[in-house]
Structure 1
Amino acid sequence: MRDLRLDLTNLWRSAARVTSPQGGRLIMFVSARSGEGCSSIAASFALMAAAKSSRSAWLIDLDFRRNPLYRAFEDGFSKKIGGPGRAFDASLNEPPIYALTPPPPDGSDGNKLLTVHQIEGTRLLVTRFRNERLRPAQKVQLRTQPRWWAALRASADWGVIDAPALERSAAALAVASQMDGVVLVVRADKTSVSDVAAMRLEVEGHGGKVIGVVMNRVRADARFADRLIG
C-alpha cells in the first residue's frame, strides 16, 4: 500500500461536494479486481478527510478476515503518520454490520468483534475485526444494517469504506445503498471504459450512487476521472 494523498486533490474536491441530510458523509471505494490499488486510495482519502474533520473520520475495512488497512497502519503506511492505538468498541450501540455462522452458543449476535483504533496524531479511526475470537469453522458475513450506518453518520464527519474487489466479494453491493457516494478504482493500463461502465451499472443496480473513477497507476500515480461516468 502507498500513501497517495498528493494525487487525490481532484477527488477530494469532488467528494467534498457530496452532501448527506443525515450528518456525516459515507464514501465507499471499490474495484472490479484485486490488485488495483483500492485500499491505498481509500486509506489516503481517509487521512485527508480526517485532517479536515472537526470530529473524526472512520476508515472501515469490509475485508473482515484479513484486516489489511489496520495492518498497513501497523506496519507504517505513511512515514508521517503514527500507528493504531488501543482498541475501542465499534458497535455504536447498534446491531452489528456482520453476522456469524454458526451463531454464538450464548444466543448473542457477537457484536463486540469489530473494534476501532485511533491513528496516532490524527482524527482518523481504523476498524479491525477480531478474527481471533471466532470459533473454529465459524464464518463472518457482512449485512446491510442501516441503523449502524446512521449511528456512524451521527458520530463522525466522514465514513470512508474500503470494500473487497467485486471479483471475490459482493460486500460492496450489499451496502451500496447506504452510501452517499461510491468511487470506482481501476487500473488505467488494464481496465477498459466498457469495464468501468459495467461496474457502474452493477453498483447502481444495487442502489449505489457512483460519483467518480480513480485511475490508478498512471505513471505510478492515481488520477480522478469523473468524465468516464458523466
Structure 2
Amino acid sequence: YGGVGLPMDPSLKTQPFWRISPLLVRKNGQKNSSSWYMTLHQIGRHRLFVSRFRAESLRPGQSIHVTKASGYWQRVRDAIDLAVVDIPARDRSRSILAVAADMDGVILVAEHDSDPNQMIALQREIEAVGGTCLGIIYNTVKSMPGHSQHNASG
C-alpha cells in the first residue's frame, strides 16, 4: 500500500468526537488542542488512513470526553473507504453510547464466557441511542504474546 505519510489534521477541519479536559499548557503558554492527542496518517496514496489516540500523553487529572459528532463522521466517510473504530469496553467507558448512532453499524466483541443477558442489555442500550448492533464476536483469546494493551477511559 505504501509508506506512512506525514501527520494530518485528525479533526478533519470539523468538530471532532473527542475533547480533552483540561488542555495541557506548554512551556510557551499555549494550550495543546484536543487534536494533539490523536494521530492520523495516510498510507501511500490510497484512501487508507490509520489513527491512534495518544493516551500515554494524558497527564494526571486529564480526561477524555467522547461526544456525538455527526459532521465529523461524515467527513470520515467522505475521506476513506472503510473505518473500523475501536472503542473501550462498555464496563470501562460510555464512549460506545456517544458514537453508536454515527456508526453504520456496531459489532460487539465479548469474552467467550460473557453473560448473554449482559450482551443483550448492551445491544438494547446501543439501539436506544440510535445505533445498529450488527452482531457479536465471542473472543476466546485471553492475550496475545508480545502485545501490550493500552487503557483509555472515555
Structure 2 alignment gaps of length 5 or more:
142-154
CA distance, structure 1, for counterparts of residue 19 and residue 65 of structure 2: 5
8 Å CA contact 2:23, 2:32 repeated in 1: yes
TM-aligned CA distance change 1:206 to 1:108, over 3 Å: farther
Which letter maps to 1:174? A
Structure (1/2) with the larger strand percentage:
1
CA distance, structure 2, for counterparts of residue 111 and residue 159 of structure 1: 21
2:16 paired with 1:96: yes
User: Partner of 2:117 in structure 1?
Assistant: 194
Q: 2:102 aligns with which of 178, 182, 185?
A: 178
Compute the RMSD of aligned alpha carbons: 3.4
1:95 is displaced (CA, Å) by 1.6
8 Å CA contact 2:10, 2:40 repeated in 1: yes
1:128 is displaced (CA, Å) by 2.2
Which letter maps to 2:18? Y
User: Partner of 2:152 in structure 1?
Assistant: none
8 Å CA contact 2:106, 2:131 repeated in 1: yes
1:170 is displaced (CA, Å) by 0.4
Which letter maps to 1:161? V
2:63 paired with 1:139: yes
Alignment of 1:1-230 (within 5 A): 85-103=5-23, 110-113=33-36, 114-119=38-43, 124-130=48-54, 137-188=61-112, 190-217=113-140
1:117 is displaced (CA, Å) by 2.3
Which letter maps to 2:137? V
SS of match in other structure, 1:162: coil
User: Partner of 1:70 in structure 2?
Assistant: none
- Percent identity at matched positions? 36
User: Partner of 2:148 in structure 1?
Assistant: none
1:212 is displaced (CA, Å) by 1.3
CA distance, structure 2, for counterparts of residue 131 and residue 212 of structure 1: 28
Question: After alignment, is 208-217 or 107-116 more displaced?
Answer: 107-116
Aligned length: 138
1:135 is displaced (CA, Å) by 6.3
8 Å CA contact 2:49, 2:80 repeated in 1: no
8 Å CA contact 1:95, 1:111 repeated in 2: no
Which letter maps to 1:156? I
SS of match in other structure, 2:41: strand
Structure 1 alignment gaps of length 5 or more:
1-50, 52-81, 219-230
Q: Deviations over 1:156-178 (max 9, x none)?
A: 12221111000000001111111
8 Å CA contact 1:84, 1:119 repeated in 2: yes
Higher relative contact order (CA 8 A, sep 6+): 1
